[in-house]
Amino acid sequence: MQPIRLGLVGYGKIAQDQHVPAIQANPAFQLVAVATQGQPCAGVENFRSLGELLENGPQVDAIAFCTPPQGRFALVQQALAAGKHVLVEKPPCATLGEAMALVEQVREQGVSGLFAWHSRYAPGIEAARDWLASRTLHSVQIDWKEDVRKWHPGQAWIWQPGGLGVFDPGINALSIATHLLALPLFVESAELRVPDNCQSPIAASIKMADARHLDVRAEFDFDHGHDELWSIEIRCAEGVLRLDNGGALLSIDGVRQAVSEEGEYAAVYRHFQQLVNDKASDMDLQPLRLVADSFFVGSRMAVEPFYD
């Protein structure tokens, strides 16, 4: 079988650290072109824009998008209009409406689409999901705290409208929780803490529930000055399940469990390969909807200015 010829749009930190190594390690894909306005990608043809890539570049079957969410909608639309399969890095768009429109356009074009909620592919997630399937859940506590200066140095777009602020990492936790839980979640209340000189929150507290009134709470912090805290603890009648290190570690009642050895982005691209082969799509909107609802119902508290 011929490999899927892949184009990549955006060659920043996430593309360099995660996407390109995962693509190059998977023989089902061949990276043939990159569109970037920054540092070029070695070993492939580079173009200044997606339009230039589509018009003058090598033939591609699919395109992966690693640009910031603001402005991404029009780029993905352009690729879909050209009949390309699309993989879209999280968060897929700057607004829920844009993401919904992409779901519909993928369906109309008859191609495959993937909103790449990469944290769902962390090593412990599927084992956790299997264990939870037959348990009676009582409560969920999410703590997702990291230092923006470490993970997004100098990336001002995060603090601009549409940049999501602390929800840029927080949406990873929401993507895991919504994958683990059987019923949809709804935001009951939120407190968003916004620096005086920014448009997006640097921290947030969220209270959610499902139709059975499961108590789900999340604490997000993007100015966490020490080791990252990426944990989800789920209390059940039958025991306590805990995911740490963003889902890389799984324990039940304090006992470490065996998990997958496959990395997140390796699993993302394996899934994308299967979707293309099956002529299917996976474009879940629930994590982005929870973020949108948090902004919609959340109270805002001004906090001290943030400087990178």
Residue 301 dihedral angles phi and psi, to the nearest 5°: -120, 125
Helix (H, G, I), strand (E, B) or coil at 216: strand
Helix (H, G, I), strand (E, B) or coil at 217: strand
Alpha-carbon distances, residue 205 vs 114, 142, 264 (angstroms): 29, 10, 26
> Rounded to whole angstroms, how far apart are CA atoms 261 and 248?
9
**Active-site residue 207, yes or no?**
no
State the catalytic residue, choosing from 13, 84, 90, 207. Answer: 90
* Nearest C-alpha neighbor of 194 from the set 181, 204, 205: 204
Structure tokens at 298: 């959340």
> Rounded to whole angstroms, how far apart are CA atoms 235 and 238?
8
Alpha-carbon distances, residue 91 vs 61, 175, 197, 272 (angstroms): 23, 10, 23, 17
Catalytic (active-site) positions = 90
